[in-house]
Amino acid sequence: MGIEDNFVPEQDKAINPEIASLVEALFSADGTTQKTVLDARQVIVLARAQAFAELYKIPELTTLCDYLMQLKISEKGRGRKDLVQALQSRKPEVDENTVELQRQRRRILG
Burial (CB count <10 Å: 0-12, 13-18, 19+), residue 69: buried
More confident: 55 or 107 = 55
> Any idea where the domains of the chain sit in the sequence?
17-109
Contact, 35 vs 73, CB < 8 A?
Answer: yes
pLDDT in tens, 44-92: 999 999 999 999 999 999 999 988 988 887 777 666 777 677 777 766 6
Query: So what's the pLDDT on residue 54?
Result: 96
Reported as a single tens digit per residue, the pLDDT across 17-43 is 777 777 777 667 676 666 677 889 999
CA distance linking residue 94 with residue 49, whole number of Å: 45
